[in-house]
Structure 1
């Protein structure tokens, strides 16, 4: 059902893109960023002979996070897509997408009912609840077929990052800013940059992690541990992925070795505060940025203590105890370690 829902949303987004493109074309409003002759956008679609593309604001949608990494579990209730825009997205655009997407998804639901009735089958009517979240630069979709699940669609654009421009210096940077003023109701830039980072993370994962099945299995196990309210839940998916990447050079098919190496890495103090630990460097950023910079000192200490305890359990092959921790056991573990 989830896969079908994602496909329906992607199909509806393509229709929305065509409608908005047609409106821009009628109003003669090209949406491609205006650039000096010596400046070009990198890592985006190259201009085509089709003049319509100059008016296409919505370039495409990408699965990110657990969907792109194939790490979703039955316990997950939120999934993410990123909608790539040709230029800086605005609140007006977000509302237009919400309105057209509602029409498109409902039209698909009605068409599905008619198709089933023609085939003599009885189908359950599907309803959608779509909301905009301007502060988060996204919209959310809920479907009656999966009432507990939420699909989050985040908006971004390559023009937000200066790294996406070729031959850009201080002079041309000013020219680009003058040629492309920010929309009055532009969406939160930081949220759009976070969405762009999700794309980079998913692409990196595909190229560096997806080929080894052991990485996927261990990441799924670690994510399951996160749902057991262990200190491991302090780590977001990106940090967890980078930890496994650091430890993936293990003999083939030895999942236990990779699993143990992750906790050995944590227990060694990689996350310790006050720059004692080296941190987890983000490979998708040009600068040296710690992907775990958001962690508090208390969380860092808790993670290190927890990992050291897990290493002891693994040494005695007490794997059943690792996966039986709940909130109460975790509190007991923390107090016992602190007493020691």
Structure 2
């Protein structure tokens, strides 16, 4: 056969590199760029670095290579973990050159961030994630400045940790010298950076490796900064009053936490009152919730309140568009548009409202008020609307479910730190009517509607009244919250006191301190609580405590049995004896004051008499 006998074929320019791109233009089309908000692999890298700096997360691309030298493939991998939003973004790309692989993996992450509405379109004004989502959803701009931190890193990153570590060690006049080592051939050389120093008798040492010296030093400094943050030596990377942060390198300096509460003078020179007061302050310091958790809780409640306000406005708009309601408004049967509002408001109750929550607690209570008697269909509708609005307005991962046992909603903050709000639902129409005339009957309930049990609504209304009463009365009394927090911690540690509810504690502390007639130190306030109980206040035949939030005179501790009252009285009497023998630390569950003072003076010799089995802070003294 001749050459002309074969069919003619056009020559096609083939890529000798195969499917692995040499340049990003070979695989990224204009449609891909439009889908990513106009960001290209060339323009996105600077925006990604700005985003990571603003959100205080490390943006370190992991590079690797595979294949022979004549056809080597470069692999780039990047993972962004945003714990305060409860989200994670991951991308892995490969190319013939390291530059192209890094550009592609950065573009892939930026595309994911744009689709998640966490960055703006290319060419638009740079905004924070929540501002972008508010603009997209049409919601008003969120002016909340509260920010949570990553409790594992303190929001320190590769770009900020080295500077912070240098500042921290310079204040303590500790020389900072990285011990550098090199390993491997020039083409595969890695650098190892080591640091070793001692702070307050504890040694900090770490070594890490990278492809260059600067990256190795950054990784070593970040690990040591994280350890110092967990030990309470340095503060989190968050701006406070008077602290300026460079937007290009967001690092908050001069914000280290204060040192632990030291004794004002040697323990042996203190009198009994000074020792008791210092012991109470040490206990309060150990049970106070960390500031990051309080910020997360406040931010969660702020989002809940704003969301419920938006949902309430939507319900009001629907009612206003109803023709029947429009006719009633014109005739004057309904006075004002606000009379149609179904969702009235939400309020914190319980320990969170009284500011006596303890470290480690993550579940709190709230009460939602409605105009009419609440129903389970209303709860289902509320849960759907709240979940929808939160997902459109906030980047934090929230979850809302209906709880039939609670007769309300359960709201979960899935980002770190996690918080749960148990929200009961009540209405003023759930209150039992008094002195009804014979011809006046309560409003009948529709048998086709599934109402929330009335006893659950009445219980929620009682919690609401108690929270309002305690807020008004407790703020007038010095150290009322501090004493209530100590007593509440005791009820969780000592089985005898477990029977006391949060309302019992708040009422007991408020009445005891108010009757003193003068401001009391914390230790004297604790002693007065024990004195009131030891004198037989709550036992059968005692004066008792009348519940101020009920219409009729009711014993506030009516749920306690006679045996429970006797046990608490006996325990309070034993606590008074322990305080008389200068053993308040055993009641509070802390080490002896001598052992605490020794933590600040490591050179002092240990006294064998101070180390006893009964000084174990976890042990409960006999008789309590």
Residue deviations 1:223-245, cap 9 Å, x none? 22223234223211111111112
Residue deviations 1:229-288, cap 9 Å, x none? 34223211111111112211333243322211111111222333xx33343321111222
Aligned position for 2:397 = 127
Cα deviation for residue 148 of structure 1 reads: 4.5
Residue deviations 1:165-187, cap 9 Å, x none? 8xx6324641x425x75772110
Aligned position for 1:145 = 415
Matches within 5 A, 1:26-65: 26-27=321-322, 50-51=336-337, 53-65=338-350
Which structure has the larger Rg? 2
Aligned position for 1:236 = 501
| 3-state SS, counterpart of residue 170 of structure 1 | coil
Q: Pick the aligned partner of 1:187 from 452, 476, 482.
A: 452
Counterparts of 1:210 and 1:183 in 2: how far apart (Å)? 46
Counterparts of 2:473 and 2:349 in 1: how far apart (Å)? 15
Instruction: Note if 1:304 corresponds to 2:569.
Output: yes
- Normalised by the length of structure 2, the TM-score is 0.44
Aligned position for 2:19 = none
Instruction: Note if 1:24 corresponds to 2:24.
Output: no
Aligned position for 1:12 = 307
| 3-state SS, counterpart of residue 234 of structure 1 | coil
Aligned position for 2:469 = 204
Q: Pick the aligned partner of 2:443 from 177, 184, 192.
A: 177
Counterparts of 1:303 and 1:149 in 2: how far apart (Å)? 32
Ranges in structure 1 where 5+ consecutive residues have no aligned partner: 31-46, 111-125
* Pair 196,183 (structure 1): closer, same or farther in 2 beyond 3 Å: farther
Counterparts of 2:538 and 2:520 in 1: how far apart (Å)? 28
Aligned position for 1:257 = 524
Report how many aligned residue pairs link the two structures.
295
Residue deviations 1:66-98, cap 9 Å, x none? 232222222322112211111100011111111
| 3-state SS, counterpart of residue 443 of structure 2 | helix
Aligned position for 1:289 = 554
Counterparts of 1:2 and 1:169 in 2: how far apart (Å)? 43
How big is the alpha-carbon RMSD for the aligned residues of Structure 1 and Structure 2?
2.7
Instruction: Note if 1:86 corresponds to 2:368.
Output: no
Counterparts of 2:493 and 2:449 in 1: how far apart (Å)? 45
Cα deviation for residue 151 of structure 1 reads: 0.5
User: When you count helix as a share of all residues, which structure comes out higher?
Assistant: 1
Cα deviation for residue 206 of structure 1 reads: 2.0
Counterparts of 1:229 and 1:149 in 2: how far apart (Å)? 26
Aligned position for 2:424 = 154
Counterparts of 2:322 and 2:617 in 1: how far apart (Å)? 58
Instruction: Note if 1:75 corresponds to 2:360.
Output: yes
Q: Is the Cα–Cα contact under 8 Å of residues 589 and 617 in structure 2 kept in the other structure?
A: no
Q: Is the Cα–Cα contact under 8 Å of residues 586 and 617 in structure 2 kept in the other structure?
A: no
Counterparts of 2:459 and 2:339 in 1: how far apart (Å)? 26
Q: Pick the aligned partner of 2:510 from 219, 242, 245.
A: 245
* Pair 9,256 (structure 1): closer, same or farther in 2 beyond 3 Å: same
Counterparts of 1:221 and 1:127 in 2: how far apart (Å)? 34
Residue deviations 1:145-174, cap 9 Å, x none? 2464310111111112246x8xx6324641
- Normalised by the length of structure 1, the TM-score is 0.78
| 3-state SS, counterpart of residue 67 of structure 1 | helix
| 3-state SS, counterpart of residue 177 of structure 1 | coil
Q: Is the Cα–Cα contact under 8 Å of residues 29 and 55 in structure 1 kept in the other structure?
A: no
Residue deviations 1:89-131, cap 9 Å, x none? 0011111111111111111224xxxxxxxxxxxxxxx212212
Counterparts of 1:229 and 1:265 in 2: how far apart (Å)? 18
| 3-state SS, counterpart of residue 247 of structure 1 | helix
